[in-house]
A and B are shown apart, each in its own frame.
Chain A
Amino acid sequence: MTMSTANPTPSPSTPPPADTLQVRVNGKAVEVPRTMPDPVSGKPVPTTMIQACFTAGVMVPHYCYHPKLPVAGNCRMCLVEFGTPALGPDRKPILNPDGAPRITKSPRPAIACATPVSPGMEIYTDTPAVKQMRESVLEFLLINHPLDCPICDKAGECKLQEYSEDHGEAQSRFVEPKVHKPKRVDLGPRIVLDDERCILCTRCIRFTRDIVGDDALGLVNRGSYSTLTAYPGRPFDNNYTLNTVDICPVGALTSKDFRFQMRVWFLKETPSLCTSCATGCNIVIGSREDRIYRYEPRENEAVNACWMCDYGRLNYAWIGRADRLTEIRGPQAAGQAPAPGWTPILREISGKLRQAAAGSVAIIASARQTNEELYLLAKLAKKLGALTDSVPRMGEGDRLLLNADRNPNSAGARLTGIAATPMGANLPKIAEGIRAGTIKTLLVVGEEVTRLGLGADLLARLETLIVSDILPNETTRRAHYLLPGCAHAEKRGTFTNARGRVQKFMKAVEPRGDARPEWEFLHELALQVAGPDGCQSLEGLFNQMARDLPAFAGLTWAGLGNQGATLRSEP
């Protein structure tokens, strides 16, 4: 005490009052910040032991703890032992003979998720006592669990299964009848609840209360009879309910859409993007044998954290629709053999485009196409002096993830120069050009233009109507050349979201029939019309776009990684 008051300036040996502190996890020293932002309010709150363990790369089993939810501390699965430096009467650490501070081990364990760390703390997660505690906690959690894994949709990704395997006992000592609770409870339009499986971790309650702001769920009754339920008479129905299925550590909350569809271990997981709005939530597509079974959110701190909305999540069935366009079609004279395939038809189209007079071509490309495809179209448009535009698609947004702009790549359409400002402003001009006869060729990619003021009478005036789409509509029926395209799940590419983040998505399923990724045939068209560009692959195309367009400067396909990269300037 006297020494420190005598020397007011900090000596070089004492560490500066930094905002980090050092703890040891299983003997390994790790530096952690003193505070971390609260997942809901964002205010700094003391760093907890579980966060320190994760920083050290040590896994601590947990059920109720979720990094994006407020701490509840009710499952007791994350119990660990810890010790703190012993302090002498002078409030100074007592040193061992070897000079290291002496650690007093706490007589009781603590839950790692709710205990703040202190300087010099030592956390032990692999002692025999900790192992025994995990075993006992699991035994209690399994007392009333029905063990109906063969019929449970969560089996295979269930934390109760995983931790029982890792930390539990093989035999049950419980001989009394289990407590039975309501099963197959219709919680809302998209959720089924099995209360017997619930381990009362309250993750779903905290999620819907604190993240969504819809305080719809709660526990009723006490002890073994505690039961999760929705507010009486009110369905659990907001646009984020299905996230509770993801965060439910057991199979209590299950999705009606995915119910009994496929066992999860069969699903191939492909990193992709949600295409239902301009937010660009990162997702994982679960598919098996070229059929898509579900979307799940993929963690990306810069975009969607761990969540996605139900609207986007359930918007996948159209990819597997039976009436998908699968045949390439050219203009057919009577009695002529059916369309001869991609190469001759692309050659025919490029021949027509090359001969077209400057300004006689117009391009309408959807803002659902990828950056690369829009870039290729912009290149074609530049060569042909074509008038281009995209189609705005607006809905109602919310304060969480759903954007009012329902196109996944409006920013890309603007940055590549395809979209007019404002988007859709050129559509009446194109209609006028067709009516006046100045526009003779129209290239439509992924839009139904008969609903956009370009009615059947106008399309009939065109000399050449080239249409690429996924599902049949009035425009595809009137096309002279019909080029079947791919859904995002069937190709690779990048989208630019509303906040200017360029993200890539991977191919989950094979395209059907003749269908080919749009970038492939647009690239071929661009080669034949505008000459070689020196790239073959999608990666090369993206890198070339990044070199060509100042907005994308500095980006590379490899540099996008799994999480994407943000443009330097806001779109």
Chain B
Amino acid sequence: MIIERQKMSWWERLYLPAIIGGFKVSLRHFFRKKVTMQYPEQRWVVPPGYRGAPYLVRDQDGNTKCVSCQLCEFVCPPKAIKITPPGPAGPPADRPNAEKMPREFEINMLRCIFCGYCQEVCPEEAIFLMKDYSLIGASREEMIYNKEKLLALGGVHQDKIKKWQQKAQEARAQGQKP
């Protein structure tokens, strides 16, 4: 199929009207409010519900909430999470009746796609997608965040339920060792 090229009119062939039109657009934007930011000095306000980097959290008593159930490792689509369970001789959990705590917890931030499945699947509310969107490292190894780093970055989560503490209290009330 051949498409006939439309002949330009005399007015169009002048070009000047088009140039003036372009300048008009530039001039209009020149007096508008600026939308660009001086990143990184200026930072964007991250909206609530934003899915940034996943970090581990501690509860208000400073206990690691993760119990190493490995559901996030299982559900993670890009296999960014790697958990080393404690094994029979591992370090005791922060909350003794929670029994388990990961020996190591690694998230490869280069693999992470920030989908939020880990947060959704976590039965302990121990991992949350926070507001960090700019993750920087000088090497690949540096981009694999370990348990210590993830806990430090994640901070404290106000745990309203405290199910392990509740269980322990209930057991003690019945004269059992939790």
Question: Hey, which bits of chain A sit against chain B, CB under 8 A?
Answer: 146, 149-151, 155, 177-184, 256-257, 259-263, 265-266
Mark interface residues in B99-113 (1 if CB within 8 Å of A CB, else 0).
110000000000000
Contacts A151-B98, A257-B88, A261-B88; A146 near B69 (Cβ below 8 A): no
Question: Does B170 count as interface, using CB distance less than 8 angstroms?
Answer: yes
Would you give the shortest CB distance from B14 to chain A, in whole angstroms?
Answer: 72
CA distance A405 to B13 in the complex (A): 102
A145 to chain B, nearest CB (A): 12
Residues of the A chain whose Cβ atoms lie less than 8 Å from the Cβ of B70? 262-263, 266
CB-defined contacts of B99 to chain A, threshold 8 Å: 151, 184, 260
Interface pair A263/B88, CB less than 8 Å apart: no
Tell me if B74 and A263 are in contact (CB < 8 A). yes
Is there contact, CB below 8 Å, between B85 and A177? no
* Chain B interface main SS type: loop
B94 adjacent to chain A (CB < 8 Å): no
B7 within 8 A of A: no
Set of chain B residues within 8 Å of A177, measured between Cβ atoms: 170, 173-174
Chain A nearest CB from B55 CB (Å) reads 19
Chain A residues whose CB sits within 8 angstroms of the CB of B87 once the complex forms: 259-261
Contact with A along B143-178 (1 / 0, CB 8 A): 000000000000000000000000100110110111
Q: Does B67 count as interface, using CB distance less than 8 angstroms? A: yes
25 A-B pairs whose Cβ atoms sit less than 8 Å apart in the complex: A146-B167, A149-B123, A150-B67, A150-B100, A150-B123, A151-B67, A151-B68, A151-B69, A151-B98, A179-B174, A180-B170, A180-B174, A181-B176, A182-B177, A183-B177, A259-B87, A260-B85, A260-B86, A260-B87, A260-B88, A261-B85, A261-B87, A261-B88, A263-B70, A263-B85
Known: A150-B69, A257-B88, A260-B86. A178 touches B176 (CB 8 A): no
Q: Which B residues are in CB contact (< 8 Å) with A182?
A: 176-177
- Chain A contact residues, majority secondary structure: loop
Q: Which of B58-105 contact A (CB under 8 A)?
A: 67-71, 73-74, 85-88, 90, 97-100
What residues of B have a CB within 8 angstroms of the CB of A180 in the complex?
167, 170-171, 174, 176, 178
Besides A150-B71, A260-B90, 11 other CB < 8 A contacts? A146-B167, A149-B69, A151-B100, A155-B69, A177-B170, A178-B170, A180-B176, A183-B176, A183-B178, A260-B88, A266-B73
Query: Are B69's CB and A263's CB within 8 A?
Result: yes
Complex Cα spacing A146 to B167, Å = 9
For A180, A259, A263, A265, the residue with the greatest tally of chain B CB atoms inside 10 Å of its CB is: A180
**Smallest Cβ distance from A182 to chain B, in angstroms?**
7
Once bound together, how far apart are the Cα atoms of A31 and B92, in whole Å? 56
A257 CA to B88 CA, complexed, in Å: 7
Instruction: Name the B residues within 8 Å of A150 (CB-CB).
Output: 67, 69, 71, 100, 123-124
- Contact A259–B74 (Cβ < 8 Å): no
Q: Which residues of A contact B68 (CB under 8 A)?
A: 151, 260
Closest-by-CB residue of A relative to B103 is: A260
**Nearest CB in chain A to that of B174: its residue:** A180
Minimal beta-carbon separation of A161 from chain B (angstroms):
13
Q: How far is the CA of A180 from the CA of B172 in the complex (A)?
A: 9
CA distance A200 to B70 in the complex (A): 28
Q: Distance (Å) between the CB of B169 and the closest chain A CB?
A: 9
Which B residues touch A263, using CB under 8 A?
A: 69-70, 74, 85
Q: In the bound complex, how far is the Cα of B87 from the Cα of A179, in angstroms?
A: 28
User: In the bound complex, how far is the Cα of B166 from the Cα of A180, in angstroms?
Assistant: 12
Do A265 and B74 touch (CB < 8 A)? Answer: yes
**Out of A146, A179, A259, which one reaches B88, CB within 8 Å?**
A259
Q: How close is B177's CB to chain A, nearest CB, in angstroms?
A: 7
How many Å lie between the Cα of A256 and that of B73 in the bound state? 23
* Closest A residue to B176 using CB positions: A180
User: In whole Å, how far is A191's beta carbon from the nearest beta carbon of chain B?
Assistant: 12
Complex Cα distance, B178 from A271, in Å, reads: 39
A256 to B88, CA, bound (A): 7
Complex CA gap A265/B69 in Å reads 11
CA distance A260 to B83 in the complex (A): 12
- Which residues does chain B contribute within 8 Å of A256, judged by CB atoms? 88
A177-B123 Cα distance, complex, nearest whole Å: 21
A-B interface, 6 closest residue pairs, ranked by CB to CB distance from nearest: A150-B69, A180-B171, A180-B176, A259-B88, A263-B70, A151-B100
- B123: which A residues are within 8 A, CB to CB? 149-150
Tell which of B74, B170, B178 touches A266, judged by Cβ atoms closer than 8 Å. B74
A151 to B124, CA, bound (A): 10
List of B residues within 8 angstroms of A266 by Cβ: 70, 73-74
Inside 8 A of A259's CB, which chain B residues have their CB? 87-88
Q: Which residue of A lies closest to B169 (CB)?
A: A177
A504 to chain B, nearest CB (A): 31
Q: B95: shortest Cβ distance to chain A, in Å?
A: 11
For residue B167, which residues in chain A have a CB less than 8 angstroms away from its CB? 146, 180
Specify which chain A residues have a CB less than 8 angstroms from the CB of B74 in the assembled complex.
263, 265-266
